[in-house]
C-alpha cells in the first residue's frame, strides 16, 4: 500500500522544528503575561458568517483562501483563517462587552487555502494579542511594544523593521478613498482583475496588492497624510511619540493597509528581508466596528498576529534537545528498584528514561543515542548496597551514589 502523505500545504512539526515552535509560543505567552494579557482559546471552526461578515468581502482571505464547507447538518462552517474575528465573537457570546478592557493572548493553528511555499502554508500557527476596549493611542503603543518585546526576547528584533502607517479615522478615509479612486480609475484597464474589483468595493485594498501588474500604479498613488483630519493626525503623532519614548525603532510606510477590511488608525507590520516574499512576521493595527459586526456595541480595539513558522525560522538556533538521564537496570531483579528510581527522579522534575532491553553495552549505546547526560546503572552489587553507579557522560566520571541521594545528585545545575 502506498503510504499516505500530509495534505499539501500542511506539515508535521517534529523534533527541532517542534522545539523552535514551542519556544516561540512559550516566549510570547510569558511576555504577554507581563503586560497583563490572559490566554483565550476559541474553536478552530466557526459559523462562516463570523468571517464573511467581518473580514470584508474584498479581502483575499474571504474571497480566495477560506476553507468553508457544509457540515452534516447542512450548516456552513469555516476553519478559522485568523483569530481576531473569533475572539470578538467570543467577547460577545460570553457577554464580556461591558467588562473592558479585555487583554487577550492566543496561540493556535489557522487555515488558508494558499499556494504553499517556504513560510506560507495551508495550516499554519499564529500567536496574537488583542487589546479590546481602550481607544487611546497609548494602547496602540502598548500592543506594538508587546510585539517588539517578544521579538527582542526571541533574539530576532535586529532581523526585523517595524513599518508603521495610519489609516486615519472614517472622515480621513472617505477623503483618501476618493483620491485613490481618482488615481486608479485613470489606469483601470491596466490593473489586475482583482484590483479592478477592489476599485469598486475597497480601493485602499489595492495598495496591499501583491500582483506585479499593480505595482507601478501603487507606487504613484497618493498617500493618506494630506487627507488626515486634525484628530487623526494627532492620534498618529501620539503613537509615534510613545514609540520613540520606548526606544522602539520604526519607519513610516504609507503603503501599509493590512489585508483585512476592519482596520482604522494604526496599521503596522514587522518585516524581515530574510524570508523572501514571506517577509511579514507580525502584523496588526487598530480596528473599529468588528465587535459591532458580531452583534456587540461599538468597541475600539487594537491587535496583532504573528506567524509562528516565520518566527521559528528566524531563530538563530533551535533550543537544544533536552538531555535525559538513562536508568539502566541489569537483570530482572533490579527492575523494581529501577522503577522506583525513575519515579523519584521524575517527581523531582528530572527527565529520566529507562533503557528497556539488552546487555550493558547495548543499553549504554541506547543512552548515548537519546543524548543522555548521565547513565544510572543498577546491577546486583549496587542493589545489595543500596547505591547506583552514575556515569556522567560529559566528564566521563563514574561514581557510586546512594539511591536516596540520586535526585539531588542529578538535579540540573
Residues of the shown chain interacting with ligand ATP in the complex, contacts defined by CB under 6 A: 82, 112, 114, 119-121, 124, 126, 259, 278, 280-283, 305-307, 309-310
Q: How far is the CB of 122 from ligand ATP (least distance, A)?
A: 7
Q: How far is the CB of 114 from ligand ATP (least distance, A)?
A: 5
If the CB atoms of residues 87 and 377 are measured against ligand ATP, the closer one turns out to be: 87
Q: What is the dihedral of CA 339, 340, 342, 345, to 10 degrees?
A: 180
**Backbone angles phi and psi of 117, in degrees to 5:** -160, 180
Looking at 56-101, which runs of residues are DSSP E strands? 67-70, 76-79
Pick from 165, 157, 154: which is nearest to 272 by CA? 157
Distance, in Å, from the CA atom of 337 to the CA atom of 156, rounded to the nearest integer, reads: 47
If the CB atoms of residues 192 and 337 are measured against ligand ATP, the closer one turns out to be: 192
Q: How far is the CB of 63 from ligand ATP (least distance, A)?
A: 12
The answer to whether 411 and 351 have CB atoms below 8 angstroms apart is no
Q: How far is the CB of 29 from ligand ATP (least distance, A)?
A: 17
If the CB atoms of residues 126 and 195 are measured against ligand ATP, the closer one turns out to be: 126
If the CB atoms of residues 114 and 335 are measured against ligand ATP, the closer one turns out to be: 114
If the CB atoms of residues 124 and 176 are measured against ligand ATP, the closer one turns out to be: 124
HEC secondary structure over 162-231: EEEEECCCHHHHHHHHHHHHHHHHCCHHHCCHHHHHHHHHCHHHHHHCCCHHHHHHHHCCCCCHHHCCHH
Q: How far is the CB of 320 from ligand ATP (least distance, A)?
A: 25
Which residue in the shown chain puts its C-beta closest to ligand ATP? 307
Q: Which three cell numbers stand for residue 305?
A: 498576529
Q: How far is the CB of 194 from ligand ATP (least distance, A)?
A: 14
If the CB atoms of residues 64 and 362 are measured against ligand ATP, the closer one turns out to be: 64
Q: How far is the CB of 243 from ligand ATP (least distance, A)?
A: 19
If the CB atoms of residues 56 and 307 are measured against ligand ATP, the closer one turns out to be: 307
The answer to whether 62 and 201 have CB atoms below 8 angstroms apart is no
| CA angle 275–308–127, rounded 5-degree value | 135
Cα 74 to Cα 71, 220, 372, distances in angstroms: 5, 47, 53
Distance, in Å, from the CA atom of 173 to the CA atom of 228, rounded to the nearest integer, reads: 8
Amino acid at each position: 500500500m502506498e503510504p499516505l502523505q500530509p495534505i499539501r500545504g500542511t506539515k508535521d512539526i517534529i523534533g527541532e522544528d517542534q522545539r523552535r515552535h514551542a519556544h516561540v509560543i512559550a516566549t510570547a505567552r510569558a511576555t504577554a503575561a507581563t503586560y497583563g494579557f490572559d490566554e483565550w482559546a476559541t474553536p478552530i471552526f466557526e459559523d462562516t458568517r463570523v468571517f464573511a461578515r467581518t473580514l470584508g468581502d474584498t479581502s483575499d482571505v474571504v474571497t480566495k483562501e477560506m476553507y468553508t464547507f457544509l457540515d452534516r447538518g447542512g450548516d456552513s462552517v469555516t476553519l478559522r483563517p485568523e483569530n481576531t474575528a473569533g475572539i470578538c465573537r467570543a467577547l460577545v457570546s460570553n457577554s464580556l462587552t461591558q467588562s473592558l478592557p479585555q487583554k487577550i493572548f492566543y496561540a493556535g493553528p489557522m487555515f488558508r487555502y494558499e499556494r504553499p511555499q517556504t513560510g506560507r502554508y495551508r495550516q499554519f500557527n499564529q500567536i496574537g494579542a488583542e487589546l479590546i476596549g481602550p481607544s487611546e493611542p497609548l494602547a496602540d503603543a502598548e500592543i506594538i511594544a508587546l510585539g517588539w518585546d517578544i521579538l527582542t526576547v526571541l533574539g530576532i528584533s535586529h532581523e526585523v523593521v517595524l513599518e508603521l502607517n495610519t489609516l486615519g479615522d472614517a472622515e480621513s478615509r472617505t477623503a483618501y478613498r476618493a483620491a485613490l479612486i481618482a488615481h486608479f480609475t485613470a489606469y483601470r484597464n491596466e490593473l489586475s482583475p482583482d484590483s479592478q474589483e477592489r476599485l469598486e468595493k475597497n480601493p485602499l485594498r489595492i495598495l496591499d496588492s501583491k500582483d506585479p501588474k499593480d505595482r507601478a500604479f501603487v507606487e504613484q498613488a497618493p498617500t493618506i497624510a494630506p487627507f488626515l483630519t486634525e484628530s487623526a493626525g494627532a492620534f498618529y503623532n501620539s503613537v509615534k511619540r510613545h514609540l520613540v519614548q520606548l526606544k522602539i525603532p520604526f519607519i513610516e510606510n504609507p503603503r501599509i493597509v493590512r489585508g483585512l477590511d476592519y482596520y482604522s488608525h494604526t496599521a503596522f507590520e514587522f518585516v524581515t528581508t530574510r524570508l523572501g516574499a514571506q517577509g511579514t512576521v507580525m502584523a496588526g493595527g487598530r480596528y473599529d466596528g468588528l465587535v459591532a459586526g458580531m452583534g456587540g456595541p461599538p468597541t475600539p480595539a487594537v491587535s496583532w498576529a504573528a506567524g509562528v513558522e516565520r518566527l521559528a525560522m528566524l531563530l538563530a538556533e533551535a533550543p537544544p534537545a533536552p538531555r535525559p538521564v538513562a536508568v539502566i537496570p541489569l537483570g530482572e531483579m533490579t527492575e523494581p528498584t529501577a522503577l522506583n528510581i525513575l519515579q523519584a527522579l521524575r517527581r523531582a522534575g528530572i527527565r529520566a528514561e529507562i533503557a528497556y532491553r539488552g546487555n550493558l553495552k547495548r543499553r549504554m549505546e541506547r543512552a548515548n543515542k537519546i543524548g543522555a547526560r548521565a547513565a544510572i546503572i543498577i546491577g546486583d552489587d549496587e542493589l545489595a548496597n543500596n547505591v547506583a553507579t552514575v556515569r556522567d557522560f560529559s566528564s566521563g566520571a563514574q561514581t557510586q551514589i546512594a539511591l536516596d541521594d540520586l535526585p539531588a545528585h542529578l538535579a540540573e545545575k
